[in-house]
Structure 1
């Protein structure tokens, strides 16, 4: 079926007669539907994940930090980017290059260039804000481990230094500055001196790939430094490392940019490239939001982290779903309930006399029966890690008193609702 605008272009004689391969059927070809669906689907899914993250942070953990604010800001920019992408596809930016040159009017071509210019400034900024959200989360998780903090701060400096040239390359792609990015066959090309579209986007895509690699190398380092069994590291990786998929997406985007610049039909891969760019932002948002969902989906996360063995009923009573074989109480969803009804979000909040930094619990050396009762109530309900063997138990006891390791473990437990077991850290 021939599109109406294509038929009108042929009727008006805008198609050169010597180009026999340019047929009405060829110019009517379109693959706009799939990229549009992908854009909208990923955006809606990522937005839902961010909304659930906000709910968990506000109503469950009651801690809405800088990383959450940045994630929400990034999501707002992301929605604006997706809207512009859908408009660009509807305008014909993803059709054959001959369609853009001969079917679209000059004003329509100029409009697509301006929309592309605006969309990619928003895209670059949304990714930058999203990555800073991730660094803010890692900073909170490692705020007692000075060397990791130094690594995170250096990563933040690099992200800023990478974002600025990306932004300036987009703004100053032509002199004098313009939102247009004229093709060689456009009349406006004589009025500007421009860097080619492919050169700018290739550099920006390469920098984006490096930024993603640096961002998601940090949780790899964190997991490597935790002195736990390999199986637990693998399980924790499912929570902290879904961002590896984002790196793959960045590589695909770089490939599509190169194809789009140096292929004869350079506009044909444009629609899939927009979908990939959307997936890069959405994937980063989702990857950085997954750890914040654990308070709401503790039992599901337990399959990956191996730290959840019980549940808390809505009435507030503790419902144990597993029995221990090592004499320790069964573990819950990361909250400990005292005999007075107090709920402790992590073992650091337990009453005095219960040491959260060791596997053993001990009562205070006072004769106060009330304090003893409170301690006993907590001890019976606090969650302990089920040790794989006695050797693991001895190893964790031996390493649980390391200074920065213990502090880092506290932050990991606080964030992911781990039980009160030692998760020591090797020196960096």
Structure 2
């Protein structure tokens, strides 16, 4: 926002024409719609995590923090629109101080929202990637995000000293303030950089998974939705630069920057919640889950033929060795919404996978009731050893 000072006289007809141009309804509509959509996604996420998966992780609590501050961001942006953001400066200059006060708090809430969302995504990565060495880049990225987020929040708070000089024109006369445009652009650039780090982080790990290519691509798409947020961050930076070039009418040019900011924080929450929604999606649309399952079974069957031998007596098949850790991790994440790994699949319990005997019928005939049913193989594929499966 520009300082509200004296302006040369403007013809009444010009002011009347400018008064007809109004982006405020668009700002309010976009901000409200995407905030509501993000809120619904968070609710569905917790339904899936509690009712279907039975696990609520630390990343889920961070997404709650993100949602709370996203609502605060949106509420402040809506209030700025009602006070004149998205309209020409000549029409709304009387509301300048109050408008700037809401803008001040919206910027702080915006940075807290993005930082918390990135931490939620990174904590989700930490839950997925359990192999030694795979978590080090995650912790490094966490540190970078926390440092950048803290810097952004502190610079937003102390743009001027005293703080109230950000919106108080009288106090600003004697206050010490940083170059606001330079600060906005620097924080936006840091935000884009951390967005790129978070979005690119899982690509290498996922690409090494020993799974079917179609399933691998699906996982990449789910976990790298953050690239959309990167694009929005770049668009937002463009509009911030546009505002800096038109300080004489900043309330008009800052309108798009306002709703792109709301789009960014809420779409980030939606992207962070999408992986956790998979159990719910599979429950509603079973075909979505069966496609992954079919691909996985086909891949497992081809690889299993080299490491199994069949005992013809009693129709038993013996599976020797243990599945690769990467494959197990991926299976469980798909079945549980790419969330927590059961204890049996972590590295510290890898010895649990020795030899598994399961029954398989190769012809249509009556079998002894003591024999294990074919359904146990589905359970084995799902990754959850059943009591009826024999271990040796």
2:209 is matched with: 226
2:41 corresponding residue in structure 1:
49
* Distance (Å, rounded) in 1 between the aligned partners of 2:136 and 2:342: 26
Unaligned runs of 5+ in 1: 1-13, 311-321, 336-344, 350-354, 365-371, 386-412, 415-428
Shift of the alpha carbon at 1:381?
3.1
1:69 match: 61
Q: Does 1:379 align with 2:363?
A: no
Residue 124 of structure 1 corresponds to which residue in structure 2?
111
User: 2:80 pairs with 88, 93, 97, which one?
Assistant: 88
Q: Of 226, 232, 242, which aligns to 1:249?
A: 232
Following superposition, the deviation at residue 110 of structure 1 comes to: 1.2
User: Aligned-pair RMSD on alpha carbons?
Assistant: 3.7
Higher helix proportion: 2
Q: By how many angstroms is 1:309 displaced? A: 5.2
Higher normalized contact order (CA 8 Å, seq sep 6+, divided by chain length): 2
Alignment of 1:7-156 (within 5 A): 16-17=8-9, 22-101=14-93, 104=94, 108-142=95-129, 144-156=130-142
Partner in structure 1 of residue 321 of structure 2: none
Task: Give the conservation status (yes or no) of the 8 Å contact 2:83–2:92.
Answer: no
Deviation of 1:28 after TM superposition, in Å, equals: 3.3
Distance 1:377 1:303, change over 3 A: closer
TM-score, structure 2 normalization: 0.74
1:343-378 Cα shifts (integer Å, max 9, x gaps): xx97958xxxxx9969x95359xxxxxxx9585465
Number of corresponding residues: 330
Contact 1:130 1:285 survives alignment (8 Å) = yes
| Map of 1:165 onto structure 2 | 151
Q: 1:183-226 CA deviation, whole Å, 9 max, x = no partner?
A: xxx55441222123322211111111111111111222232222
Give how far 1:80 is off.
Answer: 1.5
| Shift of residue 230, structure 1, vs aligned partner | 3.2
2:214 aligned with 1:217: no
Change in 2 beyond 3 A, CA 1:257/1:15: closer
How far apart are residue 334 of structure 1 and its match?
A: 4.6
Helix, strand or coil: the match of 2:14?
Answer: coil
Distance 1:157 1:19, change over 3 A: same
Question: In the alignment, what sits opposite 1:266?
Answer: 250
Q: 1:52 to 1:259 in 2, by over 3 A?
A: same
**Structure 1 residue 176 corresponds to structure 2 residue 166:** no
How far apart are the structure 2 equivalents of 1:49 and 1:121? 23
Q: Distance in 2 between matches of 1:110 and 1:215?
A: 37
Q: Find the partner of 2:175 among 177, 181, 192.
A: 192
Contact 1:361–1:379 (Cα < 8 Å) also in 2:
no
Tell me, yes or no, if the aligned pair for 1:239 and 1:304 is still in contact at 8 Å: no
Give SS of 2:164's match.
coil
Change (3 A) 1:197 1:181: farther
How many Å separate the matches in 2 of 1:260 and 1:209? 19
Is contact 2:122-2:198 (8 Å) kept?
Answer: yes
Deviations 1:141-199 (A, max 9, x none): 11x222221000000110111112111211111123326246xxx55441222123322
Match of 1:292 in 2: 276
